Amino acid sequence: MKSAKHVENMTATTAHSTVRSHFTAVEKQHVEPTPSSSTSSDVSSLCKAHESVVDAEILWTLKMVTAHYSYKSSAHTGDLFKKMFPDSKIAKAFSCSERKSAYVVCHGLRPFFLSCLQRELEQWGGYTVLFDESLNDYLQRKQMDIHVRYWSIMPEWVTTRFYTSVFMGHSTAEDLQEKLLGALEDLPLARAVQLSMDGSNVNLKCFRGMQEYLQQNHQVQCLDLSICGLHTIHNAYRTGIVASKWGLENLLSSLSAIFHDAPARREDFSTVTGQVTFPLNFASHRWVENVPVIERAITLWGDVQKYVACAK
């Protein structure tokens, strides 16, 4: 049995139902925010433009380094490029001042190329460490430059790369060994094949100390090729050439000397043979580096014979 109050409430609800039917119920829907396509494309364009400007600044810095420009030569280059290329958006945004170019070289390019070199040395079997110290007149400190020589994978030949420089006041054998080990700590020392240096007694003592260190810590030792391994190889090659009795040293030196500072002979040689290239200079103390000299001599040998026959 329903109470009077319940009947009254139901009657009121029924009366108001006709009013509610005139309104459309609106459901609240959660709309996910979607990025505007125009905004996304604008950001992408800005990123690409920024990358193009950064690429231009890196290329300019590489040119500056490889051409041995000073950091000062990079001053006002932004204004210069804007004048040279007024229709270029990259030139308008280009900014590479003296301080910025130094920062790019020291904190951008150097770590990149250093990491590439370290990875290449880790992938290969062995390498040679070359070091030499001398006085830096500007800093008034001893500067020890360290290079590495190894068989490069791409391209496939022996290459010598600068690794780093360290500075010091005292340069005893112990000082050299300490600085050298500190500079090479990120390289696999167990793969060091040889230490190349000049022949001072200090360096020889440093070499003996390095041998002891490698034996104690890595159970290996470097090849003992006296002081400079490159000189040893050059002399060995030269000894073999002399023993062959082919007379190559006299032949190559004569080919380079006959046309050196001789414009009349060069003109006659070109007139007779039609050649515009000439023998290269020969260095008797750099036999291993004389490969281009020998290749040029082989290429021009027939023309040289023709020229000599005409001269007779």
All domains of the chain in start order, with CATH: 46-106 (no CATH), 124-227 (3.30.420), 244-311 (no CATH)
Rounded distance between C-alpha atoms, residue 279 and residue 291, angstroms: 12
Give the pLDDT score at 303. Answer: 95
Rounded distance between C-alpha atoms, residue 54 and residue 60, angstroms: 10
User: pLDDT band at residue 217, thresholds of 50, 70 and 90?
Assistant: very high
Look up residue 142 and give its two tokens.
């001893």
Query: What pLDDT, in 10s, does the model give residues 221-235?
Result: 888 876 676 777 888
Amino acid at 38: S
Query: What pLDDT, in 10s, does the model give residues 232-262?
Result: 788 888 888 889 898 888 999 999 999 999 9
Listed range (142-151, 201-210, 273-282) with the worst mean pLDDT: 201-210
Average pLDDT over residues 103-119: 92
146 within 8 A of 131, measured Cβ to Cβ: yes
Does pLDDT of 269 surpass 60? yes
Residue, of 9 and 194, whose pLDDT is higher:
194
User: pLDDT band at residue 120, thresholds of 50, 70 and 90?
Assistant: confident
Average pLDDT over residues 87-103: 92
> What percent of the chain lies above the pLDDT cut of 70?
84
**3-class DSSP state of 132:** strand
Give the pLDDT score at 42. Answer: 64
Answer yes or no: pTM beyond 0.85: no
Rounded distance between C-alpha atoms, residue 296 and residue 281, angstroms: 10
User: pLDDT band at residue 20, thresholds of 50, 70 and 90?
Assistant: very low
The mean pLDDT value of the chain amounts to 84
Rounded distance between C-alpha atoms, residue 137 and residue 162, angstroms: 20
Q: Residue 11: which residues within 8 A CB-CB, separation 6 or more? A: none
Does pLDDT of 121 surpass 50? yes
Amino acid at 46: L
